[in-house]
Chain A
Amino acid sequence: MADEAIVNASGTDSPAVHDGAGADEGVRRRDFINIAAVSFAGVGGLAVLVPLVSQMAPSADVLAESSTEIDISQIAPGQAIKAVFRKQPVFVRNLTPVEISEADKVPLSSLRDPQTLEERTKPGKTNWLITMGVCTHLGCVPLGAGEGEVKGEFGGYFCPCHGSVYDTAARIRKGPAPKNLEVPVYEFTSDTVVKIG
């Protein structure tokens, strides 16, 4: 298309080739060249934006760190540990039977982000509550996983930044956070090892 137009345009010197539409009709062959040139430059300019925007996204090495293995054999019931996944804390918590029954007796309709403990854990491993340690409000690390930390009035986690309170299934119960603590993708590779990511 473009080549053809250029050939025609360069041929206008010859009297044998009539300048197509003529100036009086308002559209000239040169207009086509102008539009084609500006369009190509515009598309090219926009294409340059792709790498400029994309370079901001997580790089390959950051993405490569997105899976982690955790040994859970040392976590007694009632205890929790903080691990690191994607440079963010993960809470691995071994729930006691009391904590499980507390989570189970909450009516779903009363929850802001309704989910049962069973939906948030693996079948047969209901006691292993594995969630991100990242408050769904603005990303602080809630308290409650470490030894002696405040667990909040629902016995789960408490975020000191803006006062979000999570229950024993790490579900949001009170405060500004909109969602339950996120459950990452994970699997039990054996009875004592969890692979997150």
Chain B
Amino acid sequence: MSFPWAKHYKPSHPLMQWLDEKLPLPRFVYNAVGAGYPVPRNLNYMWNFGVLAGVCLMLQIVTGVVLAMHYAANSGVAFDSVEHIMRDVNWGWMLRYAHANGASAFFVVVYIHIFRGFFYSSYKPPREMIWLLGVTIFLLMMATAFMGYVLPWGQMSFWGAKVITGLFSAIPVVGTPLQQWLLGGFAPDNAALNRFFSLHFLLPFVILGVVILHIWALHIPGSSNPTGVEVKTESDTVPFHPYYTAKDGFGLGVFAILYCTMLFFLPNALGHPDNYIQANPLSTPAHIVPEWYFWPFYAILRAFTADFLFIPAKLMGVLAMFSAILVWFFLPWLDTSPVRSGHYRPLFRKFFYLLVIDVLVLGFCGGSPAETKYVLISQIAATYYFLHFLVILPIVASIEKPAPLPFSITQAVLGKDDQTAPAA
């Protein structure tokens, strides 16, 4: 597909030949994740997380469809139907824990996948479209996860829905009508629960569609690699199957061990006890926090406590929170350095690790109560977050002297490249 030396699909069995003529689906798979897709030979374990994210999506779809067979999206019975799943449905407890912890696992995997992209500048030409589609997937994931968390109709579900839809009320003029339109009422109630269920069922399939576009866009230039040097000759690549199916399989095994540890031994570690209390519109829990994967963005939301110019603090927080993700869309054009990999960018690398620390600090603050010290730390960390993308990256790209790049992937791996090394 992507390189002229890619292997061609040759079905030997008559049935497969017949199928290949009528509907070349096996050929498509062969070229996408089989021996027909040549991949750089030097991929490290950071390149496992795309496949793992795909596995998580399938896990969520399968467990989710099954849970939907037992769940009732009505505010009168939703909470009880979740307890019915936990107590009465055969294996219901496992399926629900698998789905709830599967969401966390999905976000862990996707965050590593995104930060892999940051470090190796996977967003740079010719892979901008893959990056843009990836950010879109992340936004869809956030919407899906938020609506899914509302469905058990516990206290955190209800107040999460109220606070997050309350964000829209910050928009001038149309804010409050928009919020009422989204909820189908003045506060989250049956109408909101029903539509969230409908959309929570729909969006994973939308995500699946965008994932297919994401992979399609990936197969045009081919996978990036840890050196950031483009593939030059056949010796730079190996076929996806069996080399990376095996490597991804090993990664999947490690992932499964960690995931099952959470699922069977710590199933509620990432949840909130308050969500085992049925939703009560008249009593707010003392400490509302979103799920851990939203904490960095929640910290940015809360970092704005004073009006900024003519913009009220509340609107400013909402704008900043959405901008924190939207800024990723502009990344391919903010980081103008021609060198991709962080391995060859000494200055960029330092700022990359600072960003990782900064996001972890934001995450910690987002999960903490709204006390002055945490808000102050959030303000500093949020400022740095935006400085990193909007100021530091362009400056670093223009002043940095990158380390010398290897001539080719083969040279990076073997120390020499007989075929393509220039006469030295």
Q: Contacts A89-B281, A162-B302 hold; do A178 and B314 have CB atoms under 8 A apart?
A: yes
**B interface residue count range (under 10 / 10 to 19 / 20 to 34 / 35 or more):** 35 or more
Which among A56, A134, A178 is the interface contact of B182 at CB below 8 angstroms? A56
**A interface residue count range (under 10 / 10 to 19 / 20 to 34 / 35 or more):** 20 to 34
Which among B182, B284, B317 is the interface contact of A141 at CB below 8 angstroms? B284
Complex Cα–Cα for A84 and B280 (A):
12
CB <8 Å contact, B312 and A160: no
CB <8 Å contact, A140 and B163: yes
Complex Cα–Cα for A80 and B180 (A):
28
Residues of B within 8 Å of A84, CB to CB, are 281-282
Complex Cα–Cα for A162 and B180 (A):
22
Complex Cα–Cα for A161 and B162 (A):
12
- Does B185 have its Cβ within 8 Å of any Cβ on chain A? yes
CB <8 Å contact, B163 and A87: no
Which among B180, B281, B288, B307 is the interface contact of A161 at CB below 8 angstroms? B288
- Does B264 have its Cβ within 8 Å of any Cβ on chain A? no
Complex Cα–Cα for A86 and B302 (A):
28
CB <8 Å contact, A137 and B314: yes
Complex Cα–Cα for A133 and B186 (A):
13
Which among A62, A140, A162 is the interface contact of B159 at CB below 8 angstroms? A140
Within 8 A of B (CB), among A173-191: 175-178
CB <8 Å contact, B282 and A160: no
Within 8 A of B (CB), among A95-154: 133-134, 137-141
B205 to chain A, nearest CB (A): 19
Residues of B within 8 Å of A87, CB to CB, are 185-187, 189, 281
Which among A89, A141, A175 is the interface contact of B305 at CB below 8 angstroms? A175
Most chain A CB within 10 A, of B166, B182, B288, B307, is at: B166
Majority DSSP secondary structure for residues of A touching B: loop
CB <8 Å contact, A140 and B162: yes
A9 to chain B, nearest CB (A): 41
CB <8 Å contact, A138 and B182: no
Complex Cα–Cα for A84 and B370 (A):
27
- Residue ID in chain A nearest B302 by CB atoms: A162
Supply 11 A–B pairs (Cβ within 8 Å), ascending by A: A56-B181, A87-B186, A87-B187, A89-B282, A138-B314, A139-B187, A160-B286, A160-B287, A161-B284, A163-B371, A176-B304
Chain A interface (Cβ < 8 Å from any Cβ of B)? 56-59, 62, 66, 82, 84, 86-89, 133-134, 137-141, 159-163, 175-178
Which A-B residue pairs are the 9 nearest by beta carbons? A138-B166, A139-B166, A86-B186, A140-B284, A138-B163, A141-B284, A178-B312, A139-B162, A62-B185
Chain B interface (Cβ < 8 Å from any Cβ of A)? 159, 162-163, 165-167, 169, 180-187, 189, 191, 195, 281-284, 286-288, 302, 304-305, 307, 312-314, 317, 370-371
